[in-house]
Amino acid sequence: MDYGYSPMEDVLDSLPATRRPANPRPRVAPETMARIRLTVYRRDWFTCVTCRWSPDLPDDYDGRYALGDMFRRGDRLITRLLELDHVVPFVLGGLFTVDNLQAMCSICNGRKGATV
């Protein structure tokens, strides 16, 4: 028996190199992410630029996690985060920089995403 060739190799060769499509967004180092998040949050007064909601702000907040809260709507528990929203969308070439980011809550960001 010759095990030098398996038809399975043809199948494997025909598949994409990765199982999931590569994330087109460049990876941001956690320290950079924290610095950018803190800078944008501070500039925007830790407030959603659209609805003016702002989360509780811990005294020792360092930007390493997104601020948010949870609230009830009927029988559903909703999580709301203060996110970094691209002013010029990423898909239109907008960069992940302080100048192109603004603080926006996840609810407003979801509505914006649905209409852009």
The CB-of-56 to Zn ion minimum distance in angstroms stands at: 15
Q: Find where tokens 């029988």 sit.
A: 75
Size of the site for Zn ion (CB under 5 A): 5
Question: Quick check: 103 binds Zn ion (CB under 5 A)?
Answer: no
CA distances from 14 to 23, 54, 84 (A): 21, 50, 39
Question: Quick check: 84 binds Zn ion (CB under 5 A)?
Answer: no
Quick one: 55 or 63, whose CB is closer to Zn ion?
Answer: 55
The CB-of-84 to Zn ion minimum distance in angstroms stands at: 13
- Looking at residues 43 to 72 of the shown chain, list those that interact with Zn ion (rule: CB under 5 A): 48, 50-51
The CB-of-49 to Zn ion minimum distance in angstroms stands at: 8
Angle CA 104–105–109, to nearest 5: 75
The CB-of-13 to Zn ion minimum distance in angstroms stands at: 49
Angle CA 89–93–96, to nearest 5: 70
Question: Quick check: 108 binds Zn ion (CB under 5 A)?
Answer: yes
Dihedral in degrees, nearest 10, Cα atoms 28, 33, 39, 41: 120
Name the residue among 67, 69, 63 with its Cα closest to residue 98. 63
Question: Quick check: 40 binds Zn ion (CB under 5 A)?
Answer: no
Q: Which residues are at the interface with Zn ion (CB under 5 A)?
A: 48, 50-51, 105, 108
